[in-house]
Amino acid sequence: MEKTTPYAEMFRLDNFRALVIGAGGIGGEVAQALAAHGAEVVCADRDGSVAATTASAVNGEPLTLDVTDPEAVRQAAHDLGNVDVVVLTAAMNVRKRIVDYSLEEFERVVDLNLKGTFAVIKYFGETMMQRGTGSIIVFSSIRDQVVEPGQSAYSATKAGAVQLVKAAAAEFGAAGVRVNAVSPGVVETPLTNQIKSHPEWYQAYAAKSALGRWSVPSELTGAVVYLASSAASYVTGSNLRVDGGWTAIDGRFTPPH
């Protein structure tokens, strides 16, 4: 039977070692939240300067890591040794309609969002299974369920990532390793500047959620802390939506009373 944690401590991550892959933007906020709850955080990014900046902010350890290189992921899992929590936020999108997509662009999106996710789950899952404990948290998106023009490859990879999470949960569960996903809605980050620069586009996205606004990165961190902690000790194979109600709503028009 799983040992219960006192309620006052169930979200604490003291003595946990966490790895955040994609340490800028949302990942930077996640690293701060994990550290604030007591975790020792390794901050990884393909851009070493981003990893170093976030690591400095949380008194953590920087790591330059490109998850599109499976051997580098395998080596990182080996070198880091005991990691209790892995959070993968790294992803990319090429916003084009299918007929305008090049195969090279499609491959780049798949390489990071799907192949990279597979490599992280595979290699870090393997080390966690050997230890008999661990939590892997993969960032997906509302696009794993609902789409719009120009989101074909991105949506396909995010849906695929959720299925990888479910398969890993089924395969790793007996060894005591949990695997879950977090699916944000629209988030205020530098990557969404293209949308923010078009007021009508920006407002249409805000109006689509039940809360009528965009989120900010800090609003995603509670979901990660929860899934990383003993508060979620019986949660695996789940996809926690932090989307302001976006995927719960059908249509943007409110009928008259």
Closest CA to 12 of 28, 29, 33, 30: 33
Two tokens, residue 188? 């205020």
Tokens of residue 228, six digits: 């990383």
Q: Is 51 exposed, middle or buried (0-12, 13-18, 19+ CB in 10 A)?
A: buried
> Which residue out of 101, 123, 154, 205 is catalytically annotated?
154
Which pair of structure tokens corresponds to residue 60?
A: 């953590």
DSSP 174-214: GGTEEEEEEEE--B-SGGGHHHHTSHHHHHHHHHHSTTSS-
State the Cα–Cα distance between residues 55 and 230, nearest whole angstrom.
24
| Chain centroid, CA 141 distance in Å | 9
For the question of residue 7 being annotated catalytic, the response is no
Cα torsion 229, 232, 235, 241 to 10°: value is -90
Active-site residues, by number, are 154
